[in-house]
Structure formats: C-alpha cells, structure tokens
Chains A and B, each alone.
Chain A
Amino acid sequence: MGLLQVKQVSKSFRGLQAVRKASFEVPEGSINALIGPNGAGKTTIFNMVAGVLAPDSGEIYFQDKPVHGLRPDQVCAAGIGRTFQLVKPFAGLSVLDNVMVGGLLRERSTQAARRISLDILDKLRLAPKRDLPASSLTLPDRKRLEVARALATRPKLLLLDEVMAGLRPTECDQMVEVFRSLNRAEGLTILLIEHVMRAVMALAQHVGVLHHGEVIARGTPAEIVRDPAVLECYLGEETEI
C-alpha cells in the first residue's frame, strides 16, 4: 500500500479543468517525481495534497486516513511537510527561528525545538548562518531554509515544489545528495515536482507524467524518457507529411 494515495482527483477553476481524475500512489520510503509541461496541473495536485485547495471530487489518503479537505496545518500535523515554489521565509526572523517555528509542531519546549532545529541546519549546511535574518539569505540558501523548516516538522512525507529551480548545477547536486541521504538514513518519503530533469533523473525511483491535468504515464525514469506519450507531450505530435 502507498503511504500517499491520490484517487481519481479532479479540480477545476471557473470551468478550466486543471486536474482530471488523476490517480497515483507514493510507496513508503520511495522518492517520486511528478513532471509535466507548464500548466499540466502539477502545482494544483500539490496544493490539494497539502490542504491549500480542496478537490472537487476524488480522495486523497495518507497512511490510509483521508486528508482531502483538511486545512494545511492539519495536513502538516498528519505528517506531510511541504516547501513553496516561491520561497516564503519569515523574513524578519533569524534562520534558526524560522526553523524553530517548524520544530515547535512536535516539541513542547523551545529548548527541544532549538536542539532539533540546530541539527537540521547542520544537515543543510546552514548552521553558520543561523543567527542571520532570513531576509539576508541568497536564493539557494532560502531554498535550503524552506527544506529545513519543513523537515523540522518531522514529516513522513516531504513535498518539494521545484526546490531545484534557480540553483546552479553544483548546488543542485548538493541538494540531491541531501535528499538522498535523508531518504536512505531516515526513511523519508519524498514527492517532488521538478522541471530540472538532472535532479529528477538522479533522485526519483518513480516518475509520473501529467499532461492537461491527466496522468499519462508512470514508471522509472528510464521508462519514462522512452514513452511515446511522454515524448509527444514534450516534443509535440508527430505529423505526417
């Protein structure tokens, strides 16, 4: 059984069908990617899982419990952490305090939250910058802060919304390494939406492809890049002359 099960989920905005009966599963302990052209409905699916949007129809189960229609904070408390595509640091707070907000979800005392936050900052190589205001961070560091904050809520499933976008290849590789070790060492399950194929190929064991709100292909990265339907949606239909 999958840790996360998305079943026949649909969502439309004022008549525009953003997601059409999308179904997929995220097995426990795996790293999964959701790819697709712009406007394919990736972020909409993401927001439905994270509780920002309620699906029009369909169901979403996490650890076999329904999470569709819950508020974002309830989804987070259930064990799903997320990052934002457009980073949202608490600009006026220090890097450490940013992470502590996440840490306080499962820790009663601020001391305990500080301890686990420092641990996580260490993992993401942000420890030297812990006392700086978040507003002074560069974009790669802000992306790392997004991840650190989400990890501090101790999620079982981590949703990553284009964390690699805007990173240089070396920075991207560093991030990949961080996620890999989290997955391996702590059994963290990851679902990422990503445009950077370099990261998808390096990380994901399962890939789902969305096109016009529908899941058109599923498989390993190697299978996906050979799938005719995927090639068609990325490169255009073959036309006969």
Chain B
Amino acid sequence: MTRAGIGLAALSLLLLFFPAFAGPYALSVATLILFFAYTGQAWNVMMGFAGQLSLGHSLYVGVGAYAAGALFFHYGIGPWLGLWLAIVLCVAFGLVIGFLAFRFGISGVYFALLTIAFAEFTRIGFDHLDWLGGPGGMFLKVAQRDAWDLANFRGPPLMYYYAILLLTAAAFAGCWLLLRSKAGYYWQAIREDEQAAQALGVNTFRWKMLAVAISSAMTAVSGVFFAFYYNNLFPEQIFHISRSIEIILGPVIGGIGTLFGPILGAAVLTLLSDGITEALAALGWEIPGIKQVFYGVVLLLVVMFLPHGIWPAVSRKMGIGR
C-alpha cells in the first residue's frame, strides 16, 4: 500500500468513528467541513479539472435546495425524488449557461461574470416567487430529531453527518476515476491550452459542457442536503455571491485541481474561522464580519506564499502524489 493509500485509509477510519467521541458542537463543525469539502469538490470538476471558472455555484446549491425543498414543503415528497428534480433543473441551468458561453466563445473572466450574472438574477427571481416563500424564506417542517427517518431524510445530526460523509467519499472516488478517464485527460488539456487540445481532435465544446453538467449535478445534491439539514431557505442567503465565494475558497486554499485540496481547504478554513470566532467570543469580543476579514487574510496569505494551494506543498513534503 502506498503512503497516500495509508493516509487515506487512516482519514476514512477517523471520520467514520469521529461521532463516537465528538460532542454535538464538534459534530456540527465536522458536518459543515464536509459540506464545503463536497461542494468544493463539485466546483473543482469545472474549474480545477476543465479550467472553467464559475463564480456562481450558489445558483446550483440554491436551485437544488429549493427544488427538493419545495416538493417536500408543498407535497410532502421526500428528497429521494426531489433529488432527481434538483439534478435535472441544475443540469439544465448549467447547460444553458455553458451553451451561451461556449458557443459564443466566452471564456476566462467573461465566463466567470456570466456565471455571477445568472446566480444574481436567479436570486432576484426567487425573491419574487411567492410559491417558494419569496424573500421571507421557506421553512421545512422539523418533525422529530431522534428517529432516523431515512425515507424523508429527517433525523438527528448524526444522520446528516454520515450522509455528507458518504457524499464526500463518493465525490472523491468519482473524481479520482474521472481524472484517470478520457474525460480527465481532455479536461486538463482544455484547461492547459484549449487551442492545442482542439488541434489534437478534442471537441472542446462538448467536453466543457460535460464538465458543467457533472459539476452542476453534484452541486445540486449539495443543495438538497443543505435544504434538509438547515430546514430554512432564503434567496438572499443561498443565492448570494458570498455563498459562491465560500464554496470556492476551500479548493482555492487547499489546491485547485487536486483531489485532496477541497477537503483540506474546507477543514483549514472552517476550523480556523470557527476557532477564531469562538476564541474572540470567549474573550467577550463580538466582532461582526470577522469571518469575512479572516477569509480575506487567509486567501491573501495562500495566494502570496502557496499560489498552488496548501495540498501540493504538503504532498510534496510527504513524498506522495496529488
């Protein structure tokens, strides 16, 4: 077994038995970390693998959350069906954006701006959809928190922890496979030099669309999880650009295009920012917006000293591949 394999096995065991010795607070922090790790991994497929910068991934989280949430709220239909609606809607959104951008040769910063624009006007649109609660929000019924109601995905925090752990593990394995497939090679070629990729017979339009479809489908699932874990949805929160930024900070800090980057980045960010907030609160200081300031500082430090993220530097030190 390689060093990377041993490390991965140890990490899996730790995460699997983590709830046994963690309190409710630690469990909620771990759930949050895994949520960002999973969502960051989804974003990573588009940006890290295929080189298409999306600054509007909150769109897919939001649409996914509202799709499954609304089915449950209005009709009592659990997320196992809602999940598919969420995926179909998000992939449709993604493909429309991708088609508009890639067909008309919009790339780089302009593509990023287009993704922001779509997320923003979806936010404004949802503010005016009374059926979904409008700006006042939509609240899913919280029945009882002790029993594991898997059919409706209602239960104690432990259930959500294992659900998001499973998702993160599946995303990790899926991305590992993708990177080793034809799609992985083609995406990375497009990321490195699109013209050269095309000259080697790569239909760049089609493969970029595939990256968008997979990434938006994965993010849709993260939205469904969000809806059933937090139970309240507000357009101003879920579609907000700060949410998109939060999603990408993990992979950016951990290492764009790497498999461990999103996980490591999410852990570092969440642990440090929660730690600092807690420490300040213990000292009796409540500083509003301190989290955002902290994010800014961490991003600055990483960009200055580890422009490829933390994971590439760490993995080189430990002598393992990415």
Contact = CB atoms under 8 A, between A and B. Distances in A.
A52 B195 CA distance: 9
B286 interface: no
A108 to B, nearest CB: 8
B182 interface: yes
Given A73-B203, A91-B192, A92-B192, A101 B186 contact: yes
A84 B201 contact: no
B202 A93 contact: no
B237 interface: no
A131 to B, nearest CB: 11
B277 interface: no
A205 to B, nearest CB: 26
B49 to A, nearest CB: 11
B200 interface: yes
A72 interface: yes
Most buried by B among A91, A104, A149: A104
A104 B203 CA distance: 12
Interface string B154-176: 00000000000000000000000
Contact of B201 (A52, A88, A105, A110): A105
A105 to B, nearest CB: 4
Interface string B183-197: 001101101110111
Given A76-B201, A104-B182, A110-B181, A88 B195 contact: yes
Nearest to A92: B192
Contacts of A60: none
Interface string A86-128: 0011111100010011101100101000000000000000000
A150 B200 contact: yes
Q: Which of under 10, 10 to 19, 20 to 34, or 35 or more describes the interface residues of B?
A: 20 to 34
B201 A77 contact: yes
B232 interface: no
B317 interface: no
A129 B147 CA distance: 59
B204 A97 contact: no
B199 A110 contact: no
B180 interface: yes
A97 B188 contact: yes
Nearest to B182: A104
A153 B196 contact: no
A102 B200 CA distance: 5
A82 interface: yes
B182 A110 contact: yes
Nearest to B183: A104
Contacts of B198: 71-73, 76
B193 A90 contact: yes
A28 B185 CA distance: 32
A73 B207 CA distance: 12
Nearest to A100: B185
Contacts of B189: 90, 93, 101
A104 B190 CA distance: 14
A81 to B, nearest CB: 8
A76 B203 CA distance: 10
Contacts of A150: 199-200
Given A84-B196, A91-B192, A92-B192, A97 B185 contact: yes
A73 B185 contact: no
Interface string A146-158: 0001101100000
A54 interface: no
B196 to A, nearest CB: 4
A38 B191 CA distance: 32
A4 interface: no
A50 interface: yes
A69 to B, nearest CB: 15
B199 A101 contact: no
Given A88-B193, A105-B200, A153-B201, A93 B188 contact: yes
A50 B196 CA distance: 12
14 contacts: A71-B203, A72-B199, A73-B202, A82-B199, A88-B195, A90-B192, A91-B192, A91-B193, A92-B188, A101-B188, A104-B182, A105-B200, A105-B201, A110-B182
